[in-house]
Amino acid sequence: MASSAAALLLMRGAPLRARVLRATAAALPRRFASGLVSTDEPLSPPAAASAGEGAPATSGSPKGPVAPLYMQGVPWAEQPEYRRWKDKEEEILKDIEPIRILTKEILHSDRYGDGERLSAEDEKEVIEKLLTYHPHSEDKIGCGLDSIMVDRHPQFGNSRCLFVVRTDGGWIDFSYQKCLRAYVKRKYPSHAEKFIREHFKRS
């Protein structure tokens, strides 16, 4: 009698256990639930696979800029941008070379001795094409400009440089390269940085 009652309770409890298992399976991710309930549906691939390994290749824009088709495979020296730069570079060189050549001749030849004043013609060229563009020209001129002379650099005796001789008898050196750099920056602002980097010593 007791065994019949126990069997009856087990039979009545079977549907309850089945419902509990189905509810548990529904609440769990499919990969865990597959051991509790059988299913004929295929398992979905892991989320990581859809974005990484195992994911199908997707067509997208490549990283970085892509040169236009007509520019691909064309050497840099043959590209229009390079030619525009070389044309401008040549223009700037033609503009500043005359005064640069003159200044080097004044400083590095026997045209002038140490402490000698420039000729009126050379002085005019140096004032108009160099000193005027110095970043601190007003400070260099001070109380007034009397003349331009050549002499030894006050700190580097082996080098000669240009000097402003003031009306009060004082004198001060100035760098012709600073004058030329300032001139290029003013007249050719779009190309000045590249030109100066390639054609002037750092100072």
pLDDT in tens, 50-63: 444 444 444 444 44
Count of domains for the chain: 1
Q: Which structural domain range is residue 191 located in?
A: 78-199
Q: Answer whether residue 140 is part of any domain.
A: yes
Q: Answer whether residue 10 is part of any domain.
A: no
Q: Answer whether residue 128 is part of any domain.
A: yes
Q: What is the CATH number of the domain that holds 97?
A: 3.10.450.40
157-159-161-163 Cα dihedral, nearest 10 degrees: 0
Distance CA 190, CA 88 (A): 10
pLDDT at 43 > cutoff 90: no
For the sheet with 116-117, list strands across it. Answer: 116-117, 145-152, 160-166, 171-174
pLDDT in tens, 144-201: 999 999 999 888 768 999 999 999 999 999 999 999 999 999 999 999 999 999 999 7
